[in-house]
Structure formats: structure tokens, C-alpha cells
Amino acid sequence: MENTYYLEDKKIVGIVESEKKTPLGGTICEVTYEDGATDVITEAKLKAVQTPEKSTATDARNALVKELGQKIYAVMCEYGLKFSEIDPVLNEVVRLSNDNQNHALDILWGNEAYDRGLLDVNEVLLSKYDPTKQQEVGSEPSADESKADGGTVDTEDTK
């Protein structure tokens, strides 16, 4: 009998290992759910957050934070960090994460953040929608509060 696992409230029906690897050589997987949706997730994260019963996003995040926190603490112990070194090390992790995210966004956008304008943003937003379904915001209330007034939105947006 095969075990059933969930990622939050989604039943996992298939896991396929990718040829791609994480920076430390970990496996990256494509997870398929019962509804046909898929996610790309590392094997380490999958093992940390999958459960035999449905759970919530908060439960999954808490499990990940607990496991990763323990591993980061163990690595800091391996390096014999002093208490005065903990904050600078964690600050460097945050700086590297932010710098790499910004660099990736620059690559995706094709220019650096300070070179982007509202027309660039509008073009990206418009690319998500079928042009035949666009209308100006304000002509009809939007159910999605994340949309700012003054732009073009898709009234049939299903995310």
C-alpha cells in the first residue's frame, strides 16, 4: 500500500526529480497534485513540509522554519561562532538573499531597478492578461484589493 502525502491541503500524486540541482547539490523536484497543478520544490523542503494529513500554509512554514533553524544553528556551531558573530552572519545571509533577488529581477526585467518606469510596470502587468478582457480600473469595482487604481486589470482574473 502506497503512502499518501500532502503539501498543505494539496494531495501529492507524483514527484519527479529534475536534472537541476541546488547550489549544494540537492535534488529539485516537480510535485504534481491531485488537481493537476504542479510546483517545483527542493527535496529537502518537500521532506520538511509534507505531511500524511492535510495541513495549513502556517503549519508548513512552521515546520520548515523549525527544521531549517536547527540546521543553521548546527552549522553556526560547526564554525564555533561567538554570540557577537551571530547577528553579522545572519545579516549577511539576508543581504545575500536580497542582492541575489534584486539581481535576478534585473535580469528578468532586462534593466536595473533605477531604470524602470511605470510604463515598464504596466507592460508587465498587461502581459498577464488577454487584451480582449482588459478594462480600466474604476469603471467596475475590483474584487482583488491588490490591484491599484489607475491601471488596466482583467476583470476575470483567476490568479
CA 123 to chain centre: 22
Closest C-alpha to 54, from 103, 4, 3, 108: 4
- For residue 152, the surrounding DSSP H or E stretch is strand 152-154
Enumerate the domain spans of the chain: 6-80, 83-129
Q: What is the pTM of this model?
A: 0.68
21-59 core/surface letters (b: 16 or more CB in 10 A; e: else)? eeeeeebbbebbbeeeeeeebbebbbebbbeeeebeeee
Span 60-116, pLDDT tens digits: 999 999 999 999 999 999 999 999 999 999 999 999 999 999 999 988 888 888 888
Q: Which of the four pLDDT bands, split at 50, 70 and 90, describes residue 131?
A: low
Q: Specify the 3-state DSSP secondary structure of 154.
A: strand
DSSP letters, 99-144, are: HHHHHHHHHHHTS-GGG--HHHHHHHHHHTS-GGGEEETTSS--S-
Percent of the chain predicted with pLDDT > 70: 80
